[in-house]
Structure 1
Amino acid sequence: MTTRWDPPDPRQLPDWRSGMLDYLDAASTKATMREALRAGRFTIVPTVPGIGASEESVGSLLLTTCEKRRLEDAALYYATPDMTALALAAAQTPPTEPVTLSRLPSEAGLIVFGEPIGGYTEDAGAALANTPFGSAGASAVITTPIVAASWSVWDPGEVKLDRGEVRWLYRGQGRAGAIPAGWRGIWITFYSPRGLFSGLPPETVIGTMRDGTAMTAAMIDGHREGQGPVLGWDNEMLLQEGAAFGPPVADTTDSWAHVLYTAWQLMAQQGKSRWAEVEEIPRDRAGAKRDRRQGLTGSSAVRVIRVHSAHRPSPQAAQDDAQGSTGRREPQWACRWPVRPYRRSTCLNPREHAEGGCTHEDRIVSGHIKGPEGAPLRTGDTVHLWDQQPAG
């Protein structure tokens, strides 16, 4: 049976972060990232011309250093399955406001979702074909869920070297080139669970080990059992301040960013349009001491984000949808919001609207069930009944 994403108890998040930080420090992690850079699997690529080391070696060192600093500074969030459901439902339509830095709930953060916010299917054997670990004819098709994201305001200038100037390149969907020095926006890293090869037959050949023996699904899962963090770095992207959101591209960082940004919007709405309830779970004393020894500057408290009780679906609806979830892809949440929440562009200073001097932001409006209370729920196609021949 395919292994599902099993979300954590929110209290585990600080320890998960500690494991991620230790993993980023490891030489084996930098070696893995060097191979991934050679294979062209990174979107943000730092280079230092004339430094005398390979581009991949420099890139792996700088990327792990940056991600480590961001996680050290990160506020911790856990979005419950219902909150994940709401973000997915509202993200079916792109945000209408441009990318706005004030939408960030904290300057740096790490959020773990109770259900995947997306995923992609890939042949792991084919992906390794052009690396030293490839094996001729190997095929291992797996579905990787995206279950977490870290972020920070883009500030590459914090990375200093004794010699050489760091230049940053972007290799995104349909876009490539140097990132300008004055560029402003948000750096996002998406995470997937480690150790999900157990959905494959154990004998499935994925590649070749360093000694030339076959690398199988069972070997990878066995090697990872009890080693390294639960979450692994999957991909990254940039959101430029002031840029417009377009239609999401399925199974890409673009689509996952729509869901993440929508979650930030839902967390920010207050007053009558409030969507979220936040519970803060403090770190226990022993854990806080470990965090200080590890040099963490961000809070170790975990903010649990739930759907506000005014909008929360019934337990039966949640149970019905949970049974239909694979735990490997974003669920459809068919039972919860028959008429999905939708976006409304709200003017923040109406007196200046006519002259064009106003600003607008998204407000996400509650979905609902149309029709009188107690009437049978219909979610199928509308049928138009003509009781007479239309004129013409």
Structure 2
Amino acid sequence: MSDPSRLRWTPPDPTQLPEWRAQLLDHLDDDRTRTTMRAALQAGRFTIVPSVPGIGASDESVASILLTKCERRRLESAELYYATPDMTALALAAAHTPPTEPVTLSRLPSESGLIVFGEPIGGYTEDAGAALANTPFGRPNASAVITTPIVAASWSVWDPGEVNLDRGEVRWFHKGAGSSGLIPADWSGVWITFYSPRGLFSGLPPETVIGTMRDGMVMTAGMIDANREASGPPLGWDNEMLLREGAPFGPPVPDTTDRWAHVLYTAWQLMAQQGKSRWAEVDEIPRARSGAKRDRRQGVTGSSAVRVVRVHSTHRPPPQAAQDDAQASTGRREPQWSCRWPVRPYRRSTCMDPRAHAEGGCRHEDRIVSGHIKGPEGAPLRTGETVHLWDQQPAD
């Protein structure tokens, strides 16, 4: 029988994030990581793929080296953020409708970053056995349906030229739905990697067949659970995508990078909003001196401090409301906010240059506005349909 408590995503204490980054950096230096990435590339699971013609190695081998280098540099220079469960739920609530402004690089809280969310920002259901079918780890008729939560993201301004090889020019291809092809050299935007927790096969029957080990033996859910502590960092690469600067946001496609990017971008907007409409407050937790020394040895150039992003006290929901919502959550999908925000926050397109508005030369920017309840303070919340009362029978 499955143990629900072992299936839930349990967020770390924010002070653990620098150590998590250190483990990710070590993981990206491991040859086994590149082997796994080569298999994923062969299975078509990457959407951003580099190629170096005439280098004398397989496309997958070259791509795995370049992709791990890119992710490593992104994490080395990343500022660290932790979004509390309330902040995560707020971003999900506000992201129910897409951002109205186009992708704007100034929305990034830092040029590169790593953010871990206190609750999943989404997830997807997949048959792990079928996913491995076309890789060296596949096994005929293997089936293990699991729900994978998305709990973290790294990002950087797109600059693939930093990892060009001396032996040839790197060409970058996008293989996403509807926009496949060569990425132009002058392309501008944001590169995002989404992460899921490692070791969440727990709860499946231990004898469930997942695939095949390197030595040809059967791989089961029980074997994965038994080795999860030694299998690498707490987070694992899941998906990646590009956001083109100036591009509009379309309707979100559920359970895809498209939907998760809406939530991430909305979190950036909430963090940036200031003044009377301020949504977030940030506390900074410094890294211990010994840990900071380790970071420098690993080549970390970003701050070793962790920025904890909370909902501002003027908007923060009552603790009981947050507990009620958390109780209703599966811990593997995005939480609901029926108790925390009965009236969902909404977006308002704000003109940033009213004098040029009439001529169409102005710039508009999203402002996320608090959902509000009209009426006297303390009055019961009315959420149903409007009811019209008549004090006399209306005429025919």
Using the size of structure 2 for normalisation, the TM-score is 0.96
Aligned to 1:63: 67
Q: Which residue of 1 aligns with 2:320?
A: 316
Alignment of 1:157-172 (within 5 A): 157-172=161-176
Q: Which amino acid aligns with 1:70?
A: R
Instruction: Write out aligned runs for 1:329-340 (5 A).
Output: 329-340=333-344
State the match for 2:222 in structure 1. 218
CA distance in 1, matches of 2:375, 2:331: 33
Which residue of the other structure, out of 247, 261, 267, is the alignment partner of 1:263? Answer: 267
In 2, distance between residues paired with 1:27 and 1:95?
40
Aligned residue in 2 for 1:100:
104
**Bigger shift: 169-178 or 84-93?**
169-178
Equivalent residue, structure 1, for 2:188: 184
For residues 299 and 209 of structure 2, what CA distance do their matches in structure 1 show?
41
Q: How far 1:367 sits from its partner (Å)?
A: 1.1
Which residue, out of 36, 40, 46, partners 1:42? 46
Match of 2:121 among 106, 114, 117: 117
- Over the matched positions of the two proteins, sequence identity in percent amounts to 81
| Equivalent residue number for residue 18 of structure 1 | 22
Q: Which residue, out of 357, 382, 387, partners 2:385?
A: 382
Distance 2:323 2:253 in 1: 29
Whole-Å Cα distance in 1 between the matches of residues 254 and 41 of structure 2? 23
> CA offset at residue 357 of structure 1?
1.4
The residue number in structure 2 matching 1:72 is 76
Report how far residue 385 of structure 1 moved: 5.0
Of 272, 295, 301 in structure 2, the residue corresponding to residue 291 of structure 1 is 295
- State the AA in 2 paired with 1:213: M
Q: Distance in 2 between matches of 1:336 and 1:276?
A: 16
Q: Who is 2:350 aligned against?
A: 346
Q: Which amino acid aligns with 1:260?
A: L
Is 2:369 the counterpart of 1:365? yes
The one-letter code matched in structure 1 to 2:29 is D
Give the residue type in structure 1 aligned to 2:156.
S
Q: For the residues of structure 1 that align with 2:25 and 2:300, how far apart are their CA atoms?
A: 10
Q: Distance in 1 between matches of 2:181 and 2:112?
A: 25
**Aligned amino acid, residue 254 of structure 2:** A
Aligned residues: 391
Mark the CA change 1:129 to 1:390 in structure 2 (over 3 Å): closer, same or farther. Answer: farther
Q: Following TM superposition, by how much is the alpha carbon of 1:375 offset from its aligned partner in structure 2, in angstroms?
A: 2.8
Give the deviation of 1:171 after TM superposition.
Answer: 1.0
Q: Unaligned stretches of 5+ in structure 1?
A: none
Q: Which residue type is aligned with residue 351 of structure 2?
A: C
Check the 8 A contact 1:338/1:368 in 2, yes or no: no
Q: Which moved more, 1:367-376 or 1:248-257?
A: 367-376
Q: Residue 197 of structure 1: SS of its match in structure 2?
A: coil
Q: What's the CA shift string for 1:166-194, capped at 9, x where partnerless? A: 01000112221010000000000000000
The residue identity in structure 1 corresponding to 2:385 is T
- Counterpart code for 2:349: S
Distance 1:211 1:192 in 2: 27
**Structure 1 residue aligned with 2:146:** 142
**Structure 2 residue 9 is the aligned partner of structure 1 residue 5:** yes
Superposition RMSD on alpha carbons, in Å? 1.5
The 2-side partners of 1:328 and 1:389 are apart by 54
SS across alignment from 1:69: helix
Native 8 Å contact 1:277 1:308 kept in 2: yes
Amino acid in structure 2 at the alignment position of 1:76: L
- Out of 277, 284, 288, the position equivalent to 1:280 is 284
Moved more, 90-99 or 364-373: 364-373
Q: Distance in 1 between matches of 2:34 and 2:84?
A: 32
